[in-house]
């Protein structure tokens, strides 16, 4: 019923249209019947036309009454009824303060008693299953710790321990190989140790390579450690790594060669060693091959 009333409210225009059509149709029939009655020559024809006029106007009144009833119902009566729509919330019971809602009582069904003399069913429990033994955890194995390996220090081909003045001592040297060619410069690394005194000036280091006949065939002069460690900044006890790269003057030379190193100042000359010399010959035999 609620759905029907809701549909009636939403589609009331259909009923209005049907009533209007009915009024127009039967009003036209009534007017046509009146014309026939006015033109009738015989009494029977007039009576028949009169009956049709009355019937037609009666139908007009019926359609007007139906339309009026629909208008009154949809305008004044139906809107006041509690018709549920999707926008209308459902009515729910509102709890009253201090009054608890009734709780439904559930009566358990009666359990039928066994008949006298009938065997009472018994429940047989399955035999207890023996627990499955848990395997013991594996014994921890010790992972052998690799022995620490010492990082090899920079190789030193030889030791010399020659003092230059009272501020520096040449303690060692390093060359890559005893046999070299003139195609590439000869790399040489010197190892200096700072003494107690401080260098008065920034001395330069000379590294010379001499042939068997005494000719200078390769050379490199420069400040220690490519200019990053001037002698005036040496601290007593520290070791200074001083690389050099001697460039060859005679690329065609082959044979033995000797390395000579020392310290000098362009203004005052070379620094003397503890033996009175102004240079030291490194005890390494260099062989220049083609």
Q: Are residues 174 and 278 in the same domain?
A: yes
**pLDDT value of residue 31:** 93
What are the C-alpha distances in Å from 14 to residues 106, 124, 203? 52, 75, 118
Same domain, 162 and 278: yes
Tell me if 67 is assigned to some domain.
Answer: yes
How many other C-beta atoms are found inside a 10 Å radius of the C-beta of residue 66? 16
Region of 74 please: left (phi>0), alpha (psi -120 to 50) or beta. Answer: alpha
Is 14 part of a structural domain of the chain?
Answer: yes
Residue 139 belongs to some domain of the structure: no
Select the highest-mean-pLDDT range: 26-40, 99-113, 189-203. Answer: 189-203
Q: What is the mean pLDDT of the chain?
A: 79
* CATH number of the structural domain spanning residue 187: 2.60.40.2550
What's the pLDDT at 45? 83
pLDDT of residue 199: 92
pLDDT digits (tens, 9 = 90+) for 272-284: 999 899 999 999 9
Identify whether 94 is part of a domain.
no
Instruction: State the Cα–Cα distance between residues 171 and 135, nearest whole angstrom.
Output: 67
Measured CA to CA in angstroms, residue 31 lies from 20, 97, 101 at distances of: 17, 71, 69
Q: Which of 80, 98, 132 is the last residue of a domain?
A: 80
Do 185 and 274 lie in one domain? The reply is yes
Beta-carbon-side half-sphere exposure of residue 146 (alpha carbons within 13 Å): 3
Domain that holds residue 55: 2-80
Indicate if the alpha-carbon torsion angle 154, 156, 157, 163 is positive or negative.
Answer: positive
In a domain, residue 134? The reply is no
- Could you give the CA distance from residue 204 to residue 269 in angstroms, rounded to a whole number? 10
Are both 163 and 283 inside the same structural domain? Answer: yes
Domain boundary among 46, 65, 80: 80
For range 207-232, the mean pLDDT: 95
Beta carbons within 10 angstroms of residue 54's beta carbon: 12
Q: What is the rounded CA–CA span in Å between residue 211 and residue 258?
A: 7
3-state class of 204 per DSSP?
Answer: strand
The verdict on residue 115 lying in a domain is: no
Q: Is 240 within the bounds of a domain?
A: yes
Which of 80, 95, 120 is the last residue before a domain boundary? Answer: 80
Q: What is the pLDDT of residue 100?
A: 54
Instruction: At 11, list the tokens.
Output: 């589609």
Sequential DSSP letters for 27-42: HHHHHHHHHHHHH--S
Contact 281, 259 (CB under 8 A): yes
**CA 125 to centroid of chain Cα atoms:** 57
The pLDDT confidence band at residue 24, using thresholds 50, 70 and 90, is very high
Task: Please count the structural domains in the chain.
Answer: 2
Same domain, 280 and 188: yes
Choose between 155 and 162: higher pLDDT.
162
How many other C-beta atoms can be found within 10 angstroms of the C-beta atom of residue 5? 15
| pLDDT at position 215 over 80 | yes
The whole-number pLDDT of residue 111 equals 45
62 with 175, same domain? no
pLDDT digits (tens, 9 = 90+) for 48-105: 989 999 999 999 999 999 988 888 877 777 666 655 444 444 444 444 455 455 554 4
pLDDT at site 256 = 94
Instruction: Report the alpha-carbon distance of residue 290 to residue 211 in Å, rounded.
Output: 15
Query: Residues in the chain, how many?
Result: 290
Residue 117 lies in a domain: no
pLDDT at 151: 35
In 123-165, where do the E strands start and end? 158-164
**Looking at residue 203, what is its pLDDT?**
95
Which among 160, 282, 262 is positioned nearest to 205, based on CA atoms?
262
Name beta bridge partners: 170: 162, 192
């Amino acid at each position: 019923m609620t759905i029907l009333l809701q549909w009636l409210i939403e589609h009331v225009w259909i009923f209005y249209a049907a009533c209007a059509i009915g009024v127009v149709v039967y009003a036209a029939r009534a007017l046509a019947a009146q014309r026939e009655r006015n033109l009738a020559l015989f009494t029977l024809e007039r009576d028949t036309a009169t009956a049709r006029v009355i019937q037609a106007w009666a139908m007009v009144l019926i359609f007007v009454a139906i339309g009026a009833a629909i208008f009154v119902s949809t305008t004044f009566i139906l809107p006041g009824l509690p018709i549920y729509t999707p926008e209308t919330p459902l009515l729910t019971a509102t709890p009253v303060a201090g009054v608890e809602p009734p709780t439904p009582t559930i009566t358990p069904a009666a359990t039928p008693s066994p008949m006298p003399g009938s065997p009472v069913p018994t429940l047989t429990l399955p035999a207890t299953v023996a627990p499955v033994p848990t395997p013991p955890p594996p014994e921890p194995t010790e992972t052998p710790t690799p022995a620490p390996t010492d990082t090899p220090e920079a190789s030193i081909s030889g030791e010399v321990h020659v003092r230059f003045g009272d501020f520096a001592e040449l303690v060692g040297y390093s060359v890559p190989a005893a046999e070299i060619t003139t195609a590439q410069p000869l790399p040489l690394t010197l190892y200096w140790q700072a003494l107690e005194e401080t260098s008065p000036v920034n001395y330069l280091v000379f590294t010379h390579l001499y042939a068997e006949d005494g000719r200078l065939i390769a050379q490199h002069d420069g400040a220690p450690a490519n200019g990053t460690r001037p002698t005036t900044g040496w601290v007593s006890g520290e070791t200074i790594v001083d690389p050099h790269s001697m460039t060859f003057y005679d690329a065609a030379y082959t044979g033995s060669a000797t390395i000579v190193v020392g310290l000098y100042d362009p203004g005052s000359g070379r620094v003397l060693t503890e033996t009175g010399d102004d240079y030291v010959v490194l005890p390494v035999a260099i062989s220049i091959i083609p």
